[in-house]
């Protein structure tokens, strides 16, 4: 595979042409990712081709909270989380496990954050057709939120994950 570098999104990367097959994800990368980063609303990380600095895959993380309402989790109704908000792999680089590599990085960064500020879950709200990807192919311990099989909200309990790996 082409030599890749992993880096935070900055003005030096080449975004276009990027096409992951999902216009919402493509549009986010092209128009909002850098702006949201400058506004400190989210942080975007990329895999770029080393020689050209062209983005071929990316993920976006932000701090958030999960409002659980009456179904209190951990004794509270607002759980601090790291939100994996966007993830995309260019169509020309699919089936090379870049998505899995990005999710592993998201998990590592979430664990680091959980030891600096309180956050309990890494949460992803995915499409129903991508749910099996997170549950079966990624195989990092994603669970359905509140055991609702039709939910598109998946999470990894960072505390449990950290305890199981140490």
Residue 60: left if φ>0, alpha if ψ -120 to 50, beta else—which one? Answer: beta
Summarised one tens digit per residue, pLDDT across range 16-37 is: 889 999 999 999 999 999 999 9
Domain that holds residue 42: 4-165
User: Whole-angstrom Cα distance, residue 154 to residue 132?
Assistant: 11
Report the number of distinct structural domains present in the chain: 1
42 with 59: CB under 8 angstroms?
Answer: no
pLDDT digits (tens, 9 = 90+) for 78-135: 889 999 999 999 999 999 999 999 999 999 999 999 999 999 999 988 776 676 776 7
CATH of the domain at 87: 3.40.630.30
Residue 41 has pLDDT above 80, yes or no: yes
């Amino acid at each position: 595979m082409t030599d890749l570098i992993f880096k935070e999104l900055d003005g030096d990367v080449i975004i276009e042409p990027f096409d992951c097959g999902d216009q919402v994800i493509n549009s986010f990368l092209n128009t909002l990712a850098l702006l949201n980063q400058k506004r400190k609303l989210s942080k975007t990380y990329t895999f770029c081709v080393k020689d050209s600095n062209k983005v071929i895959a990316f993920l976006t993380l932000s701090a958030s909270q999960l409002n659980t309402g009456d179904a209190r989790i951990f004794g509270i109704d607002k759980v601090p989380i790291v939100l994996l908000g966007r993830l995309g792999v260019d169509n020309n680089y699919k089936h090379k496990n870049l998505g899995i590599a990005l999710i592993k990085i998201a998990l590592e960064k979430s664990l680091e954050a959980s030891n600096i500020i309180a956050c309990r879950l890494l949460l992803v709200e995915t499409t129903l057709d991508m749910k099996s990807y997170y549950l079966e192919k990624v195989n990092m311990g994603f669970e359905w939120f509140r055991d609702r099989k039709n939910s598109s909200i998946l999470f990894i309990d960072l505390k449990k994950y950290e305890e199981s790996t140490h």
